[in-house]
């Protein structure tokens, strides 16, 4: 078939998702596998969200509230900001897409750390913009080098804190200084998908930086700490002027009814959030200790996952773990062919992962 394919679409790098459990079991004819590959909540969804969902099932013949009135207001109250500053998305992924659609034109530049969450580059390329990737320095976002790569074509700068896959959190003061140094008109997007897991909350809350009136968007999600990845709901917090533009390009009903209802209930489920944090923090400590005992280098993490180095080719270790029904994330597509990323699981999942890893390394 001969189609006039826009050349910039061919530049889009494919997104490599964590392997689903069903796919692994179908391929290998095994059962009882575990997935620690996509930084999902090891406890499942918030019970209050589940209860609210059950109650809402009878209204699924209705379209959702396109404006997400109740959820938006609840988030705004929780964060102490105006509802006009919030845009809901079909996952925080969708906010990236809306930002690209609203602000990027072919030839614009988008600055991002390398590696970073793949969707930054994908959205930039899909808009015909040029991703300018700045390598991490000792596993940390190199803000100085990023500032040095700004040009008069730069439209968006992506930062991710805590960073996926390193787990490093950029100190809030450093984000503040970076924001102040940005030329007028450049939008800073600070992706905080893992913010709820941060253990050391020193420094100003990123949302307080919005008060500076500078163009900044903070991304948050219900996919991780709230356990609602399957429903797809996240949001961006931003100046109302930016929000108004995103609403112009936002598809109506972009956040489905079930997702809105569940997210609202999950916000009230503080016990679940606390328990999620506890299980994740204990899991991280346990995994780090045992990875160190295996002699493996492992980065400290402020998120719900760990990045660690294995001897030789990490792909072979990844495959060995798959054979044993354990799914983690190989990081070759992030530029780290010797590293793996593992999400903190429930205690029995963490043990199972470590046992499998030990067996694979001893082969």
Binding site for ligand PLP (CB under 6 A): 39, 91-93, 117, 160, 164, 191, 193, 221, 223, 229, 234
Closer CB to ligand PLP, 116 or 360, in the complex: 116
Q: Least separation, in Å, of the C-beta of 40 and ligand PLP?
A: 9
Q: How far apart are CA 82 and CA 200, in angstroms?
A: 27
Closer CB to ligand PLP, 18 or 128, in the complex: 18
Q: How far apart are CA 204 and CA 306, in angstroms?
A: 25
Closer CB to ligand PLP, 191 or 269, in the complex: 191
Closer CB to ligand PLP, 160 or 290, in the complex: 160
Q: How far apart are CA 78 and CA 333, in angstroms?
A: 37
Closer CB to ligand PLP, 221 or 350, in the complex: 221
Q: Least separation, in Å, of the C-beta of 117 and ligand PLP?
A: 4
Q: Least separation, in Å, of the C-beta of 242 and ligand PLP?
A: 18
Q: Least separation, in Å, of the C-beta of 283 and ligand PLP?
A: 17
Closer CB to ligand PLP, 118 or 147, in the complex: 118
Among all residues, whose Cβ is closest to ligand PLP? 91
Closer CB to ligand PLP, 123 or 269, in the complex: 123
Q: Which two tokens stand for residue 150?
A: 């700004």
Q: Least separation, in Å, of the C-beta of 29 and ligand PLP?
A: 29
Q: Least separation, in Å, of the C-beta of 167 and ligand PLP?
A: 11
Q: Least separation, in Å, of the C-beta of 10 and ligand PLP?
A: 24
């Amino acid at each position: 078939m001969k189609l006039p394919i826009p050349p910039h679409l061919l530049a889009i790098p494919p997104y490599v998702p964590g392997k689903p459990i069903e796919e692994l079991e179908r391929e290998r004819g095994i059962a009882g596998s575990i997935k620690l590959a996509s930084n999902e909540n090891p406890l499942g969804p918030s019970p209050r969200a589940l209860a609210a969902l059950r109650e809402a099932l009878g209204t699924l013949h209705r379209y959702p509230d396109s404006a997400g009135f109740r959820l938006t207001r609840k988030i705004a109250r929780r964060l102490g900001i105006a509802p006009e500053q919030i845009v809901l998305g079909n996952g925080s992924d969708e906010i990236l897409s809306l930002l690209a659609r609203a602000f990027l034109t072919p030839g614009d530049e988008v600055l991002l750390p390398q590696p970073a969450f793949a969707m930054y580059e994908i959205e930039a390329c899909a808009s015909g913009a040029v991703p300018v990737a700045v390598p991490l320095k000792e596993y940390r976002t190199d803000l100085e080098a990023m500032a040095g790569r700004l040009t008069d074509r730069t439209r968006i700068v992506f930062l991710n804190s805590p960073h996926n896959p390193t787990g490093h959190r950029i100190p809030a003061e450093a984000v503040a200084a970076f924001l102040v140094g940005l030329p007028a008109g450049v939008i800073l997007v600070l992706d905080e998908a893992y913010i709820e897991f941060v253990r050391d909350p020193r420094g100003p809350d990123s949302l307080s930086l919005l008060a500076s009136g500078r163009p900044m968007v903070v991304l948050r999600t219900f996919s991780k700490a709230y356990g609602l990845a399957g429903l797809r709901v996240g949001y961006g917090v931003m100046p109302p002027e930016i929000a108004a533009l995103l609403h112009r390009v936002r598809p109506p009903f972009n956040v489905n009814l079930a997702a809105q209802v569940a997210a609202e209930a999950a916000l009230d489920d503080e016990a679940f959030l606390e328990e999620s944090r506890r299980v994740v923090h204990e899991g991280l400590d346990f995994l780090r200790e045992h990875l160190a005992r295996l002699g493996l280098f492992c980065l400290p993490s402020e998120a719900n996952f760990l990045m660690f180095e294995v001897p030789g080719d990490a792909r072979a270790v990844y495959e060995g773990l798959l054979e044993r029904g354990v799914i983690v994330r190989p990081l070759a597509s992030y530029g780290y062919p010797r590293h793996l990323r593992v999400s903190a699981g429930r205690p029995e999942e963490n043990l199972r992962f470590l046992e499998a890893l030990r067996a694979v390394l001893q082969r």
